[in-house]
Copies of this chain bind each other. A is one copy, B any other.
Amino acid sequence: MNINSPIGIFDSGVGGLTVARELFSLLPSEDIIYFGDVGRTPYGGRSENIIKQFTRQDISFLMEKKVKLIICACNTSSAVAIEDVKDRFDVEIIGVIKPGATVAADKTKNGMIGVIGTRATINSDAYAKTIKRIDPKLNVISHPCPLFVPLVEENYLENEAAKIIAGNYLQVMKDAGIDTLVLGCTHYPLMKDIISQIMGDSVRLIDSGEETAKAAQHYLYSITAVKEFVEKSKGERKFYVSDVPHQFSGIASRFLGHNIDSIEQVDITKY
C-alpha cells in the first residue's frame, strides 16, 4: 500500500457527500476519490442481490484507481452487501454501520437506542445486530423513514409537511423513551434540525457518516498511512458519478457545503 494513494469513498448517490465532507475536514491532505452511483440511485428499495452486484461494481471502479482505503458511505450497501463482498477485494473497506453502532452503544445511558434509515437498512437489522453484539443488554428500536430521502433531495425541509412526516415517523422513538438516535442514512444529517426539534435536547443524535469518517482517520493513523500534511496544500478531490441528472450540482453542493468544480461520468455497468 502506498501512503500517497487516494482514499476511495462511494455511495448510491449524493448522500455520501456528507461523509466526504467530514473526511475533507478530518484528513485535509489526503487525495480523495468519490463515486456516486447517481444513475442507479436509490439502493434502499432494491433487492439484496441487486444491491450486492452494484456494491461490487462500485468497489471495482475504486480499486482501478488504486485506493489505499475504501469507505462505503452507503448505509444500504453497508447493511446488506459489504460483509458478503469484502473478501473479494484486497483493501480495507469501512462501512457506515459499525462506527455509528459503536458510538451509540458507548453513549447511551438508559440503554434505549433508536435507529432510523431506509427500508433496506432497517429490514437488514444491521445496526441492531451490531449494537447487540457489542452489548446484548442494550435495547434497539428501529424504524424506516423512507420519505426523508426525497424530502431532503427536494429541499423540502422548511415546509410544515416535513415536520408532520418526521413527527409521525419518530413517534415510536418518543414512546420508547430512547436517549440516543442513530441517523442511519447519509441524507439524514440534513434533517438534523427537524429531528432534534422533535426528539428534544435530551436525545443525542449519532451521525453515522461523521463517525465513519472518524473511524477512517483512526484506521489510517493506526497503520501510519496518513499522507503528510504540508501547510496550505490540500489533497486532490475527484468526483465521479454514473449519471449527471438535472439539478445534480445544486443538490451536491447542499450536501457537500460547497460547489464541485468538475465531475466525471463513468459507465459503472462495465465494472
Judge if A175 is at the interface, Cβ distance under 8 Å. Answer: no
Known: A147-B156, A151-B147, A156-B147. A47 touches B245 (CB 8 A): yes
State the oligomeric state as a number of copies: 2
Name which of A15-23, A160-168, A192-200, A227-235 contacts chain B: A160-168
- Smallest CB separation, A247 vs chain B (Å): 7
Known: A159-B168, A164-B164, A246-B123. A50 touches B39 (CB 8 A): yes
Q: For residue A26, which residues in chain B have a CB less than 8 angstroms away from its CB?
A: none
Number of interface residues of A (CB under 8 A): 29
Judge if A261 is at the interface, Cβ distance under 8 Å. Answer: no
Cβ-defined contact, B39 with A119, below 8 A:
no
Known: A160-B164, A165-B159, A269-B269. A245 touches B151 (CB 8 A): no
Judge if A87 is at the interface, Cβ distance under 8 Å. Answer: no
- Contact partner of A165 (CB less than 8 A), chosen from B40, B45, B156, B243, is B156
Mask, A156-195, CB within 8 Å of B = 1, is 1001111011001000000000000000000000000000
Can you list 27 A-B pairs, Cβ within 8 angstroms, ordered by A?
A39-B46, A39-B47, A39-B50, A45-B246, A45-B247, A46-B243, A46-B245, A47-B244, A47-B245, A47-B246, A119-B247, A123-B246, A146-B150, A146-B154, A147-B150, A147-B151, A147-B154, A149-B150, A156-B165, A159-B164, A159-B165, A160-B161, A161-B161, A161-B162, A161-B164, A161-B168, A269-B269
Listed from nearest, the 3 A-B pairs whose CB atoms lie closest are A161-B161, A161-B164, A150-B150
Question: Apart from A46-B243, A161-B162, A161-B164, what 20 extra A-B contacts exist at CB < 8 Å?
Answer: A39-B46, A39-B47, A40-B40, A45-B247, A46-B245, A47-B246, A50-B243, A119-B247, A120-B246, A123-B246, A146-B150, A147-B151, A147-B154, A149-B150, A150-B150, A156-B165, A161-B161, A161-B165, A161-B168, A164-B164
